[in-house]
């Protein structure tokens, strides 16, 4: 297997984690410095030290509120990332906005104050909503795909995709998942990688919580899985857990699955970030699959779509992008960690006769990244395969 080069996004995540080890006095330097600078700039811009003091105290109050909120999240079992990195990023952004607003305050004081207050309030609301509300808005996306490779009429096949669990500890999101899966009554469950958070992928408690969660997921046609990115999923730790639970890990492997009167071939290709090597392994798997068989590919990243389409895969299920995790209304994902950026950011795509669905996933990025979702709720994907035309 080819060893991939350095992943820039993973390198950035590593950098974000560094402040997690800083002492409290080091963390306090940034808000104190920005408070002092903002007070001086506003006093000078308005020629009134009272406004300088007012803005400075307001900024300091917001910093204290931000810190209190972020520190409370793991204590309340909401999320388990270190508070220092997101606090510093948010503080720096608040300070920058305050300094920019001083420029406009020197011309029109009250409109500048009103806009500054509004923006700072919106930031607070987004922080609370993104950390406590949206990560728990677990949604079900239903997709129906007709195929001439199935008996028509024949029994529909229901496939449930779960992706990017990123378990750190069990929260009410993970606790709600087993009952939701049971309600959807899938024939087959597929897991498309990134089982643990990057910050907790060697943590015994996280591993135990993952085991407890997966043990509650059942389907008559069994559960199949592929590994996620190489920095996140550590096969030597995860393989015994999934194996003990009867979950079949498709490590560059294809299996025929019979579900009632329908048959499909399920293939898993490991994720190396090398589409040439991954595509070659996919081609080797397809060489042993009957040409008239329905093929379902599991691969963590959507970047294999061009190769999957050119090789005639029928359905490709992927994750990895989290849908961007933070989306801008009308624009979508800002960051996807895909070489194709927004081309396969989230949702249903077709290329030729190949269908791709990219799940927004269930969990969130680890390391120093904020445990937050904005306009990108977590997702369970339910795919129904139905016969079309003559069938087999």
Residues 92 and 40 both lie in one domain: yes
How many domains are contained in the chain? 2
Residue ending a domain, among 81, 99, 134, is: 134
Residue ending a domain, among 134, 158, 180, is: 134
Residues 286 and 357 both lie in one domain: yes
Residues 249 and 232 both lie in one domain: yes
How many whole angstroms separate alpha carbon 20 and alpha carbon 10? 16
Domain presence at residue 107: yes
User: pTM of this prediction?
Assistant: 0.94
Contact (Cβ atoms closer than 8 angstroms) between residue 308 and residue 316: yes
Helix axis angle, 49-75 to 109-128, nearest 10°: 10
How many whole angstroms separate alpha carbon 360 and alpha carbon 342? 13
- Of 362, 374, 4, 3, the C-alpha closest to 163 is 362
Domain of 258: which CATH number?
A: 3.60.21.10
Domain presence at residue 59: yes
Residues 80 and 143 both lie in one domain: no
Residues 152 and 179 both lie in one domain: yes
- Site of tokens 């190396």: 272
Range of the domain at 256: 139-387
- The set of residues, in sequence order, having a beta carbon less than 8 Å from that of 333 and lying 6+ positions away, is 321, 323, 324, 325, 326, 327, 342, 345, 346, 376
Q: What is the pLDDT along the chain (392 residues), one digit of tens a residue?
A: 334 445 666 666 667 778 888 888 899 999 999 999 999 999 999 999 999 999 999 999 999 999 999 999 999 999 999 999 999 999 999 999 999 999 999 999 999 999 999 999 999 999 999 999 999 999 999 999 999 999 988 999 999 999 999 999 999 999 999 999 999 999 999 999 999 999 999 999 999 999 999 999 999 999 999 999 998 999 999 999 999 999 999 999 999 999 999 999 999 999 998 889 999 999 999 999 999 999 999 999 999 999 999 999 999 999 999 999 999 999 999 999 999 999 999 999 999 999 999 999 999 998 888 999 999 999 999 999 999 875 55
How do residues 200-239 score in pLDDT, each as one tens digit? 999 999 999 999 999 999 999 999 999 999 989 999 999 9
In DSSP terms, which residues pair with 326 in a beta bridge?
Answer: 374
Helix axis angle, 84-105 to 49-75, nearest 10°: 160
Residues 86 and 173 both lie in one domain: no
Residues 221 and 370 both lie in one domain: yes
Residue 273: per-residue pLDDT: 86
Q: What is the dihedral of CA 145, 322, 233, 381, to 10 degrees?
A: -30
Residue ending a domain, among 134, 161, 182, is: 134
Domain presence at residue 214: yes
Domain presence at residue 1: no
Residues 180 and 51 both lie in one domain: no
């Amino acid at each position: 297997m080819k060893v991939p080069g350095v992943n820039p996004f993973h390198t950035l995540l590593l950098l974000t984690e560094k402040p997690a080890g800083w002492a409290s006095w080091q963390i306090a330097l940034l808000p104190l410095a920005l408070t002092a600078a903002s007070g001086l700039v506003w006093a000078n811009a308005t020629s009134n030290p009272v406004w300088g003091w007012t803005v400075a105290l307001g900024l300091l109050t917001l910093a204290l509120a931000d810190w209190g909120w972020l520190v409370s999240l793991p204590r309340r079992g909401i999320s388990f990332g270190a508070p220092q990195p997101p606090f510093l990023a948010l503080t720096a952004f608040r300070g920058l906005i305050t300094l920019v607003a001083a420029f406009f305050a020197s011309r029109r004081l009250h409109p500048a104050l009103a806009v500054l207050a509004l923006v700072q309030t919106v930031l607070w609301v987004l922080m609370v909503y993104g950390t406590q509300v949206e990560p728990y808005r677990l949604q079900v996306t239903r997709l129906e795909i007709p195929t001439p490779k199935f008996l028509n009429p024949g029994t529909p096949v229901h496939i449930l995709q779960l992706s990017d669990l990123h378990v750190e500890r069990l929260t009410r999101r993970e606790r709600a998942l087993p009952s939701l899966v049971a309600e959807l009554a899938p024939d087959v469950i597929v897991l498309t990688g990134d089982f643990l958070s990057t910050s907790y992928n060697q943590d015994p408690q996280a591993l135990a919580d993952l085991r407890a969660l997966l043990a509650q997921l059942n389907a008559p046609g069994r559960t199949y899985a592929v590994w996620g990115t190489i920095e996140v999923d550590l096969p030597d730790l995860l393989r015994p857990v999934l194996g003990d639970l009867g979950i079949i890990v498709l490590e560059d492997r294809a299996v025929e699955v019979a579900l009632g009167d329908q048959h499909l071939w399920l293939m898993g290709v490991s994720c190396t970030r090398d589409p040439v090597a991954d595509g070659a392994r996919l081609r080797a798997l397809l060489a042993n699959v009957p040409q008239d068989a329905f093929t379902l590919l599991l691969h963590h990243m959507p970047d294999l779509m061009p190769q999957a389409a050119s090789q005639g895969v029928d359905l490709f299920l992927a994750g990895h992008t989290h849908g961007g995790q933070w989306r801008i209304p009308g624009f979508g994902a800002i960051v996807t960690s895909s070489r194709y950026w927004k081309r396969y950011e989230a949702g249903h795509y077709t290329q030729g006769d190949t269908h791709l669905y990219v799940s927004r996933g269930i969990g969130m990025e680890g390391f120093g990244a904020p445990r937050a979702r904005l306009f990108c709720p977590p997702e369970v994907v339910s795919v129904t395969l139905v016969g079309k035309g003559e069938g087999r």
